Amino acid sequence: MRGLTDDEMYVADQLFATLDTTVRVLVPETRPRILISDTVGFIKDLPHDLVASFRSTLEEARDAKLHIHVLDAADSAFRDQYDVTRQVLADIVDPDHPRLLILNKSDLLDDAERSKLRKEFPEAFLMSAASTTDTQTLHGLIQTFFESTMSEANFVIPYDKQAKVSLLHDRCRVLEERYEEDGAHIRVRAPQAVLSALQREV
């Protein structure tokens, strides 16, 4: 989370170090912005008095476009932890919801262990958060996913409504901008939901 958002936040190797969802902007920033939510970890047989603390996590999971499952590959119990997470999510989101499996702490494994994990989890990204290169690669994987969900659209903004131009710059990636007699012609790229909202608003 620190590596993806360039933000210092509390980190501790203990249960319940995080009880609230933390949201930060992916850095370097993209247009449109990509928000990263760090949720509470899923715990098997959670005590009832802590269920409320997990409510925001479940809400975030419903709204997220991409689930990134981060597992400690150096922990022998990570497979059981992964099963718990999938079981909880299966009750609230579609099983085909886009997800990215991250096997972290690969620097604590030897070559044979890394090779075995690659064969067992061919869809996973085996990485170390301590590696700047690995974090940059993960950044690229996230950005590539969102790129694949985007569409292009063209807007013509009359000169008496130029405030709408900054709105397009803020919410989209502007690919082309031309000024002609009838106003600003702007070609943008953004998720379809964003484009649909802008077409109604603009």
pLDDT score of 170 more than 60: yes
Sequence letter at residue 172: C
The answer for residues whose C-beta is within 8 angstroms of residue 146's C-beta and 6 or more apart is 30, 34, 65, 66, 191
Residue 116 and residue 123: Cα distance in Å, rounded?
Answer: 13
Quote the pLDDT of residue 39: 80
Nearby residues of 177 by Cβ (< 8 Å), 6 or more positions away: 165, 184, 185, 186, 187
Say if CB 158 and CB 182 are below 8 A apart.
yes
Residues 49-90: pLDDT tens digits? 555 666 666 777 888 999 999 999 999 999 998 998 888 788
| Cβ neighbourhood burial of 33 (10 Å; 0-12, 13-18, 19+) | exposed
Q: In what order do the strands lie in the sheet with 150-157?
A: 150-157, 183-191, 173-180
pLDDT at 86: 87
Q: Is 146 helix (H, G, I), strand (E, B) or coil?
A: helix
Rg of the chain over Cα atoms, rounded to whole angstroms, equals 20
pLDDT attached to residue 40 = 72
pLDDT of residue 59: 73
State pLDDT tens for residues 8-39: 766 666 655 556 678 899 999 988 899 998 88
Which positions ≥6 away from 103 have C-beta within 8 Å?
A: 71, 73, 78, 117, 121, 124, 125, 126, 127
What is the pLDDT at residue 48? 52
- What pLDDT, on the 0 to 100 scale, is given for residue 167? 93
Using the 8-state DSSP alphabet, how is residue 96 labeled?
Answer: T
Tell me, what's the pLDDT at 62?
84
pLDDT digits (tens, 9 = 90+) for 102-155: 999 999 999 999 999 999 999 999 999 999 999 999 999 999 999 999 999 999
Residue 8 is predicted with a pLDDT of 79
Element holding 110 (H helix, E strand): none
pLDDT band at 46 (very low <50, low <70, confident <90, very high): low
Beta bridge partners of 178: 185
Helix or strand (DSSP H, E) at 202: none
Q: CA 81 to CA 65: how far, in whole Å?
A: 22
